[in-house]
Amino acid sequence: MRFKTHIQNLPAYKPTKLITGPTTDLIKLSSNENPLGPSPKAVAAIQAAAAQIHRYPDASSMALRQALAEHVGLTAAHVTCSNGSDELILLLCLAFLEAGDEVVMAEGTFISYLLRTLELAAQPVRVPLQHYTHHLAAMANAITPRTRLLFLCNPNNPTGTTNGAAELAQLLEVIPDDLLLVVDEAYIEFALRPDYPDLLPHLRDGRPNLILLRTFAKIHGLAGLRLGYAYSHPDLIAYLERVRPTFNVNLLAQVAGLAALADQEHVVRSRDHANASRTTLTSGLEALGLTPIASETNFIAVHVGDDAAVSDALRQQGFTITPLSGWGLPGLIRISFGTDEQNHAFLKALRTVLSR
Ligand SMILES: Cc1ncc(COP(=O)(O)O)c(C=O)c1O
């Protein structure tokens, strides 16, 4: 076979290692999932629709798009749905990048931006974080006439930090008309700062070069169902339709998404739980002499020294977390919030690991 060299050279996705070691009840704190589980209303909707899965889904996800549009005061033409927001990152790269084009992103952010850019033989331009936060002025300076996309993860995975409205407004002012600003808001529902940027008014005003990525995987607890969506200008949404696989959002995901969106009680419960977990883990980590990064998400990152060794040792204690060397942040680990019981048990395990 003749493989494409730039694809052959890509690192393959490494899924969390299979469960081995002293415990079979490995507690997974490595994927920023919702420890409270899915919205019960979404589960009921899936059960009610299960007997219909011999049918293809609505290829346009229209009912869900309409609900998502109404939720924020836009129209269905401003919305597209996807097989997880990860698929949207791929579709954006497919739709906008040619070999050699440049993509500005942070070094120390969600890894899909880098991988999908490389798949298209485009050129990642990685800008170091500043105080574990996107350095927007430096990212703006990294833009050249070849830059087609700029990825901004706000709040940022894996550091949990955010950028505020004033610096976002500045960035929006300086980016060229032919550059698409992709703001990945997968964790928006957890953001805390009062000046967290609301970018929807730009879309209501018709801004053509901005897209906001969102997901049902985090606060709604539907990670396994694979459901993401985006808000953007209708022309850009229509353009993405050209690369979107026809039935990318399955029938159960569509009904579950509608039910989850209507279940704001689950959203509030999940946010309250994340806030409580953050307090527990922050003070617990500080009590171990560590300095966690202030997080506005459902996970927390902290410097522990040898992230790979600590991760392996935690695994032996029954916990999976994410070592961040591979994300450009050597020495740090990322811990997703668990249930109250899991959070306390994790801190105990970490104490054991660090005291060795
Ligand atoms: C910042 C960010 N964007 C996108 C995704 C992908 O989410 P989805 O499960 O909707 O594909 C994740 C998943 O962890 C994420 O952290």
Q: What is the pLDDT of residues 76-134, one digit of tens each?
A: 999 999 999 999 999 999 999 999 999 999 999 999 999 999 999 999 999 999 999 99
How many Cβ atoms are within 10 Å of 120's Cβ, its own excluded?
A: 21
Confidence (pLDDT) at 11: 78
Model confidence band, residue 41 (pLDDT cutoffs 50, 70, 90)? very high
The pLDDT of residue 117: 97
Distance, CA of 119 to CA of 73 (rounded, Å) = 35
Pocket test for ligand 1, best of 32, 33, 80, 85 (most atoms within 8 A of CB): 85
Mean pLDDT of the 152-156 span: 98
**Band of pLDDT at residue 15, cut at 50, 70 and 90:** low
Looking up tokens 């709604």, which residue turns up? 220
Distance 55 CA to ligand 1 centre (A): 28
Residue 147 reports pLDDT greater than 50: yes
Pocket test for ligand 1, best of 157, 188, 214 (most atoms within 8 A of CB): 157
pLDDT digits (tens, 9 = 90+) for 248-307: 999 999 999 999 999 999 999 999 999 999 999 999 999 999 999 999 999 999 999 999
* Strand-pair category, 228-232 with 79-82: antiparallel
Would you say residue 169 has pLDDT above 70? yes
Domains and CATH numbers, the chain: 13-38+265-354 (3.90.1150.10), 40-262 (3.40.640.10)
How far is ligand 1, taken at its centre, from the CA of residue 84, in Å?
A: 7
State the pLDDT at residue 6.
87
User: With contact defined as beta carbons under 8 Å apart, do 346 and 29 qualify?
Assistant: yes
Mean pLDDT of 212-226: 98
Whether 308 shows a pLDDT value over 80: the answer reads yes
168 by DSSP, 3-state: which?
helix
Tell me the average pLDDT across 134-139. 98
What tokens does 328 get? 């450009």
Among 20-24, 94-98, 322-326, name the one with the lowest average pLDDT. Answer: 20-24
Ligand 1 close to Cβ of residue 223 (< 6 A): yes
For residue 309, is pLDDT > 50? yes
Q: Which residues pair with 230 in a beta bridge?
A: 80, 213
Give the count of alpha carbons within 13 A of 62, CB side only: 3
Q: For residue 237, is pLDDT > 50?
A: yes
Confidence (pLDDT) at 286 = 98
Distance 2 CA to ligand 1 centre (A): 32
CB 154 within 8 A of CB 296: no
Interstrand relation of 299-303 and 319-320 (parallel, antiparallel or unpaired)? unpaired
Q: How many residues does the chain have?
A: 356
Question: Is pLDDT above 80 for 62?
Answer: yes
For residue 16, the model assigns a pLDDT of: 58
Q: Where are the alpha helices (DSSP H) in the chain?
A: 5-8, 40-49, 62-72, 85-96, 112-119, 136-141, 165-174, 200-204, 234-240, 251-262, 264-287, 307-316, 340-354
Ligand 1 atom nearest to 87, measured from its CA: 11
Q: Which two tokens stand for residue 262?
A: 């209507």
Q: With beta carbons less than 8 A apart as the criterion, state whether 150 and 181 touch.
A: yes
Residues 6+ apart with CB under 8 A from 37: 221
Split at pLDDT 50, 70, 90, the class of 14 is: low
Query: What's the pLDDT at 258?
Result: 98
pTM: 0.96
Percent of the chain with pLDDT over 90: 94
Distance 186 CA to ligand 1 centre (A): 6
The predicted structure's pLDDT at residue 300: 98
Q: What percent of the chain has pLDDT over 70?
A: 97
Model confidence at 23: pLDDT above 60: no
- Ligand 1 atom closest to residue 227's alpha carbon, by position in its atom list: 10
Pick from 203, 258, 198: nearest CA to 227: 258
Return the best residue to mutate from 86, 111, 212, 227 for the ligand 1 pocket (most ligand atoms within 8 A of CB). Answer: 86
